[in-house]
Amino acid sequence: MKLTGAQIIVESLLAQGVDTIFGLPGGVVLPLYDALYGSKLKHILVRHEQGAVHMADGYSRATGRCGVALVTSGPGATNTVTGIATAYMDSIPMVVITGQVPANLIGNDAFQEADIVGITRPCTKHNYLVRDTKDLARTIKEAFYIATSGKPGPVLIDVPKDVLTKQAEFLYPESVHIRSYNPTVEGHIAQVKRAFEKIKASKKPVLYVGGGMILSNAADELFRFATGCHIPVTTTLMAMDSFPTRHELSLGMLGMHGTYAANMAMHEADVIIALGSRFDDRVTGNLAGFAPNADIIHVDIDPTSIGKNVAADIPVVGDLMDVMKKLNAMRAEDKTDWADAHREWLKTADEWKNLYPLRYDRSPEGKIKPQYVIQQAYELAKGMDPIFTTEVGQSQMWAAQFLTFEKPRTFLTSGGLGTMGYGLPAAIGAQAAFPNRLVVDIAGDGSIQMNIQELITAVQYGLNVKVAILNNGVLGMVHQWQELFFGKRYSASEFQVNPDFVKLAEAYGAVGLRATKESEVQDVLKEAYRTQKPVLMDFAVDREEKVFPMVPAGGTVKDILLA
């Protein structure tokens, strides 16, 4: 059957199992929007294309399926770049379809032309300019395959207007074969065995877990391995939800704002088992002083991540699901008395945990501490199967430190790029995937203003997200650095004015709530969670509060600031 390019895209997305896409139309994609009209694909109309991409990202992180965004050429396409880069840095599977000016005009500085393939080359896993309608279906199939396999990532497809309007025979390919792309999924058994033997011989092992554990859906296998072998677990920001926060083996987050126990354990470890983590500079600090005594086992699906920052003694390339299963199988056959083997080590780890737990002081005058809001945001959400998203800054770090996580895909945060403005649209994307779950964005007053326009999208579609703004009147994290490292010279970090967030919410047709005293916090949260509408909560928090512990950039655990 012959279809237009626009129809082929819609049919291909349906064949791919896509149910929801996020986007905003414009000139060259009108034929595609026309094909969407009345189709079974649900389209969420955003107010800014960056929002569409973050929504697709939130949808993807919450479900594990590939998010899809659709925008027009030129400014529509360039508006997606921050969202794409955010997804790229965190390896989030996503397909972004951009319109392009007609093929014969490309390169002519035509109206609303932008070389989006060129612009996004360094921040996509792969991208395409489709030149012929008959290539569309295969390109879409390839794009989904590339986005979701190996180390996942965003793939962009740029489609000129004439490719949308011309016709071609439609047949959605059943499978794809790309001869130059064959990611290694299965961990080499001999390497896994070496890793297992190394773990067996260790006295002070640590599991250092990153976002790859979430991406490969292997958290259950991690739990089995950690508890079976009695090995403490520390996670990166990207993997807070890969291991239950309240489990006795949990050391919490490591790195710059990680716990004392996690950073000490890394420093004292004799074997570090890096699982889907990449020794980012926010984790290692000064490489010269990082984990001086440890042999490194590094498991990752991406060979380029291994040995990039820290040399691996035992590299294992493969999908964590496969490798963890193999490790668990080896453990099941093995007779080691793990509890005995690691008793001393776990005792030491406990001492570190008890010596400097994450903490803050409640205010004697009843001022609201941001950490308190976050703790309550979780406590009152228990049983509602919550998903938390974050913006970026102090609020994000406190969320990582003071939320409690029970299961994967419940903490959606921009780790690699650190994108302010991520949390609200990501929450909307997650809510679109799970209309009946509670989705809460932990926000700062700076970040929330970066994509506040999407509140109306939430209202329009009845996606009843809750936003908890920890309003300190400053770009808090910047303020903190200026206080600690720039002699309190607060250059351009203090908002002289802020909007009235309650009125703002009301103007959008959402609900606005405010708390100015600690005693009001619970009531505001309860009311927000009960309300069947999007809610903005404005918590006037103590601006003096800082994120601790802190290993200053380029430092080691020896430089840790505890308060």
- Residues in the site for ligand TPP, rule: CB under 6 A? 391-395, 418-421, 444-447, 470, 472, 474-478
Q: Is the dihedral of CA 355, 356, 358, 363 positive or negative?
A: positive
Tokens of 293: 């005594």
* Helix (H) or strand (E) segment spanning residue 83: helix 81-89
The residues that bridge with 443 in the sheet, in sequence order, are 469
Comparison of 219 and 468: residue with beta carbon closer to ligand TPP: 468
Q: Which residues contact 329 (CB under 8 A, 6 or more apart)?
A: none
Minimum CB–partner distance for residue 85 and another protein (Å):
13
Comparison of 191 and 242: residue with beta carbon closer to another protein: 191
Comparison of 271 and 470: residue with beta carbon closer to ligand TPP: 470
Q: What are the CA-CA distances from residue 539 to residues 507, 521, 558 (Å)?
A: 19, 8, 35
- Does position 487 interact with another protein (CB under 8 A)? The reply is no
Which of the choices ligand TPP, another protein, none does residue 393 contact, using the CB cut-off of 5 to 8 A by kind? ligand TPP
286, 221 contact by CB (below 8 A): no
Q: Which residues contact 324 (CB under 8 A, 6 or more apart)?
A: 218, 221, 222, 224, 225, 275
For residue 549, cis peptide bond before it (omega within 30 degrees of 0): yes
Q: Which residues contact 470 (CB under 8 A, 6 or more apart)?
A: 370, 373, 374, 394, 395, 398, 442, 443, 444, 445, 476, 539, 541
CA dihedral (223, 226, 229, 230) in degrees, to 10, reads -120
For another protein, the binding residues in 146-165 under the rule CB under 8 A are 146
- Does position 182 interact with another protein (CB under 8 A)? The reply is yes
Whether residue 100 lies in the annotated active site: no
Tokens of 283: 């984790």
Binding flags for another protein, 286-315, as an x/- string (CB under 8 A): ----------------xxx--xx--x----
Comparison of 309 and 404: residue with beta carbon closer to another protein: 309
Q: Which of 138, 172, 173, 181 binds another protein (CB under 8 A)?
A: 181
Catalytic residue among 213, 477, 537, 550: 477
Whether residue 49 lies in the annotated active site: yes
Q: Which amino acid is at 42?
A: K
Name the region of 64 (left: φ>0; alpha: ψ -120 to 50; beta: rest).
left
Length of the chain equals 563
Minimum CB–partner distance for residue 94 and another protein (Å):
16
Q: Which residues contact 100 (CB under 8 A, 6 or more apart)?
A: 28, 73, 77, 106, 113, 116, 129, 158, 159, 160, 161
Whether residue 112 lies in the annotated active site: yes
Comparison of 177 and 488: residue with beta carbon closer to another protein: 177
Catalytic residue among 49, 221, 268, 454: 49
Comparison of 179 and 246: residue with beta carbon closer to another protein: 179
Q: How many residues bind another protein (CB under 8 A)?
A: 19
In angstroms, rounded to a whole number, what is the distance separating the alpha carbons of residues 56 and 423? 12
Q: Is the dihedral of CA 54, 513, 245, 384 positive or negative?
A: negative
Catalytic residue among 40, 111, 344, 506: 111
Comparison of 145 and 208: residue with beta carbon closer to another protein: 145
Minimum CB–partner distance for residue 309 and another protein (Å):
10
Catalytic residue among 125, 161, 204, 546: 161
- Does position 126 interact with another protein (CB under 8 A)? The reply is yes
- Does position 104 interact with another protein (CB under 8 A)? The reply is no
5-15 and 136-148 helices, crossing angle to 10°: 40
Comparison of 6 and 301: residue with beta carbon closer to another protein: 301
Which of the choices ligand TPP, another protein, none does residue 121 contact, using the CB cut-off of 5 to 8 A by kind? another protein
Helices marked H in 444-486 — which ranges?
455-461, 476-485
Give the range of 68-76, 84-92, 177-185, 277-285 binding another protein by CB under 8 A.
Answer: 177-185
Which of the choices another protein, ligand TPP, none does residue 331 contact, using the CB cut-off of 5 to 8 A by kind? none
Minimum CB–partner distance for residue 184 and another protein (Å):
11
Minimum CB–partner distance for residue 211 and ligand TPP (Å):
18
Q: Which of 1, 37, 38, 122 binds another protein (CB under 8 A)?
A: 122
Q: Which of 104, 107, 111, 118 binds another protein (CB under 8 A)?
A: 118
In angstroms, rounded to a whole number, what is the distance separating the alpha carbons of residues 104 and 110? 10
Minimum CB–partner distance for residue 475 and ligand TPP (Å):
4
Q: Catalogue the active-site residues.
A: 49, 111-112, 161, 477
Residues found near another protein in the complex (CB under 8 A) = 117-118, 121-122, 125-126, 129, 146, 178-182, 302-304, 307-308, 311
